[in-house]
Amino acid sequence: MIKNNKGHLYTKKSRVEAIKIARNDGKEVMILDDGFQDKSLYKNLSILCFNSDQLAGNGRVIPAGPLREQFSNIKKSEIIVINGDRNLLFENKVKNFSEKIQIFYSKYIPKNVQDFKGKKLLAFAGIGNPNNFFKILKNNNLNVVKEVSFPDHYEFSFKDIAKLMKVAESLNLELITTEKDFYRIKNPNKNISFLSIDLVLDNQNEFLNNMKSYIND
């Protein structure tokens, strides 16, 4: 959103402080990243996202599982977006907690795959589940020779990048990462590329209308 100039980014240690500043700037709609667990704020709408490969995993909370809080708290959300294939069993599990939750499906559409065809790649990522990124590369028939995973929201140091470049050079590979990670790298080297991806919703108009109904309340 920010990269496409469709919004403004406010970063503060306190979300409350950031929202106050945004409202003073005339902003009417605030979108929080990872805001579901923040109990200090009233939210008109909560959207939870899942990947069809992992969904709720073993149903346990970190560090025993992938969830950030008990699965039963899903009833506090209004919309769920599942990226990947439809899963009726999971839908029924969600509906057992709340019939009102709207479920939508999405998929990733890579935009610059052709740039990497015929190349040998070292792929690295510091997102929630790097394997999802690696899978996208392989599903698009890209030659991923080596994969390197970092923790979510990882802040890449100069040393990290230098090490990756050294490994890539020794194996005659090109470096590729996620767009999110690329823009987190300070002064990214010209030898690092990213896979540009669009997130496409199956029922986009219905999703947007659903969102607007909460925003306009």
Contacts of 127 (CB under 8 A, 6+ apart): 133, 152, 178, 180, 181
What is the pLDDT of the chain when averaged over all its residues? Answer: 91
How many domains, the chain?
3
pLDDT mean over 159-187? 94
Reply yes or no on whether the pLDDT at 34 is more than 70: yes
pLDDT mean over 30-59? 89
Considering the domain architecture, whether residues 124 and 187 belong to the same structural domain is answered as yes
Considering the domain architecture, whether residues 94 and 126 belong to the same structural domain is answered as no
Considering the domain architecture, whether residues 117 and 189 belong to the same structural domain is answered as yes
Considering the domain architecture, whether residues 161 and 134 belong to the same structural domain is answered as yes
The 197-201 sheet, strands edge to edge: 47-51, 79-83, 102-110, 197-201
| Beta strands at 102-110 and 197-201: parallel, antiparallel or unpaired | antiparallel
Considering the domain architecture, whether residues 4 and 72 belong to the same structural domain is answered as no
Distance CA 9, CA 19 (A): 11
Residue type, 89: L
Considering the domain architecture, whether residues 153 and 90 belong to the same structural domain is answered as no
Considering the domain architecture, whether residues 67 and 129 belong to the same structural domain is answered as no
Range picked from 1-5, 54-58, 142-146, 211-215 for highest mean pLDDT: 142-146
Considering the domain architecture, whether residues 3 and 69 belong to the same structural domain is answered as no
pLDDT in tens, 3-31: 555 678 888 888 889 999 999 999 988 88
The 120-125 sheet, strands edge to edge: 143-149, 120-125, 174-178, 192-195
pLDDT mean over 104-127? 96
Which CATH number goes with the domain that contains 165?
Answer: 3.40.50
Distance CA 58, CA 65 (A): 6
Considering the entire predicted model, what is its pTM?
A: 0.83
Domain range enclosing 86: 40-107+201-215
pLDDT reported for residue 13: 82
H or E, element range at 107: strand 102-110
Considering the domain architecture, whether residues 127 and 93 belong to the same structural domain is answered as no
pLDDT in tens, 132-166: 999 999 999 999 999 999 998 899 999 999 999 99
Considering the domain architecture, whether residues 191 and 119 belong to the same structural domain is answered as yes
